[in-house]
Chains A and B, each alone.
Chain A
């Protein structure tokens, strides 16, 4: 239960980190908050030759209002995101999901960029990002590029980033008027990995659903948008039958796997149940949301 030996490199800027990766990126891991990587090292599930520690890269720690949304630096601690009034106001889904990420001691160290780049299929933040079509900025030797959060995820613990690239920022759009959000998940103990989690965002016009967004975690190799369910909701009122119809679609389209924590069939049922509950809560909140965003 001790990490294997590795070479340790501490960098102070993003530029240095990119240069270090480019210089010698073989078998190299970036160390962000370490709340997933350190357990993997301790259990020898990861045995990198080299670690580049990003924890002194202060320029990647910020939460800023930008372009009708909120930009968050990759090294921003999850606890700072959780306590941010700006996030609570402009990205309520993220604020709703944050207390479910590990325990507060984990969030004191864990970073938003680390969680996104780790691509754990049971994690909350990737699903929140995918639900809201958040944009991710990455930096490599050739400069920066931006991609959608859906483009970021390939499979279990695997992103589409090149080995020389660093995730530097995530940007969340502010919600349209009369939008409600909800994050719900089920885990055996609060703070443990979710068996299934559901992110929902619903925008109302008059009494009908103008736009619906649904993303799930724990039901496949990467965060999953339930697009068919979203389409079934648009233009309809949020009655029990309509929500059940969306849940049916979720149950039919997801492909969860069985593991020691739960069978595929159990996860399928759980996903349907949580979908109905998350949608109901989001619709209720949308009804109370301001008719104009500020």
Chain B
């Protein structure tokens, strides 16, 4: 017997969506398949890799460890919402591009959203803080050096605005 679908309203990147979802649907799959927001990447699906990180009411969380039904009424930010409306990239995105903080790019959305909370809590982080707070995100290309440089650079860019 399939459990009934549940109606939810979720606010993603400033837009409201009213949808019906089966209880077992993960937030990551809801964002990708129901809303077409495929910037949120799915890596391990058990909370280890951090590729699916989004902001839930401002806090960085694993979207693969949440059910879509749980986010009824919540505010969610995905990588698509980082830059805002204009052409201009978010300073973190600018810094990742400038400092070569990505290669294949698969892990990047998760790193960006993790770094949003990192820089909000610690606007001028030292490298140890950056490394500690990025420890929950895996990257198989860069060796992390340039990601650390990019977050440091973003802190500079954001401090300047």
Contact = CB atoms under 8 A, between A and B. Distances in A.
B26 A2 contact: yes
Q: Secondary structure at chain B's binding surface: helix, strand, loop or mixed?
A: mixed
A42 B61 contact: no
B80 interface: no
Contact of A2 (B24, B60, B61, B69): B24
Interface in A4-19: 4-8, 10
A108 B135 contact: no
Interface residues of B, number: 30
A96 to B, nearest CB: 15
Interface string A188-200: 0111000000000
A109 B65 CA distance: 9
Interface string B12-26: 000000000011101
Contacts of A264: none
B24 A4 contact: yes
A38 B47 contact: yes
A193 B67 CA distance: 24
Interface in B3-17: 3, 6
Given A102-B136, A103-B135, A190-B135, A7 B47 contact: no
A190 B134 CA distance: 11
A58 interface: no
Contacts of B64: 38, 42
A169 B71 CA distance: 25
A8 B62 contact: no
A157 to B, nearest CB: 16
A42 B70 CA distance: 16
* Chain A interface extent, by class: 20 to 34
A267 interface: no
A8 B46 contact: no
Q: Name, among A39, A43, A55, A105, the residue most crowded by chain B CB atoms within 10 Å (CB to CB).
A: A105
A104 B133 contact: yes
Contacts of B46: 1, 38-39, 42-43
A105 B24 contact: no
Contacts of A4: 24
A190 B47 CA distance: 14
Nearest to B65: A38
The 9 closest A-B pairs by CB, nearest first: A103-B136, A8-B23, A39-B46, A1-B45, A38-B65, A108-B59, A3-B24, A105-B60, A7-B3
